[in-house]
Amino acid sequence: MKKILQYFLFFIPFSIIIMSLWSFVISSNLFYCSDSVPFLDFIPPFVHGSQFGDFFIVNPNIVYVLWLLLIFLIFIVPYYLVVRVNLKKKKKGKINKKNKI
């Protein structure tokens, strides 16, 4: 249960960082959306059709591959951080046990 809590403590801020990156850096450079809403830009579809004046600046496949990569990172990086933190705690505990003997 403690590891799940740790995961979400890393997941929430990291996902906010990634969504901010997407909203303020990527969305304006890779596609244009006339009704852009920060943080909600991260949810597909990114372009709502030409009747709204929306369009991709780059190939749509590039946008979706980059989005999938960021989704992957949102889930993997917090997991990696939890594993790393717990490994450090284990090593620290082993060192303390050796010093007590």
Q: Is 99 a residue whose pLDDT tops 60?
A: no
Question: ω before 45 within 30° of 0 (cis)?
Answer: yes
> How many structural domains are present in the chain?
1
User: pTM here?
Assistant: 0.79
Q: Is 37 helix (H, G, I), strand (E, B) or coil?
A: coil
Q: Domain limits at 66?
A: 2-100
User: What is the full DSSP assignment across 21-32?
Assistant: HIIIIIHHHHEE
Q: Tens of pLDDT along 22-47?
A: 998 888 899 988 888 888 888 888 88
Q: Is 95 a residue whose pLDDT tops 80?
A: no
Q: What is the pLDDT of residue 8?
A: 95
Q: Is 98 a residue whose pLDDT tops 80?
A: no
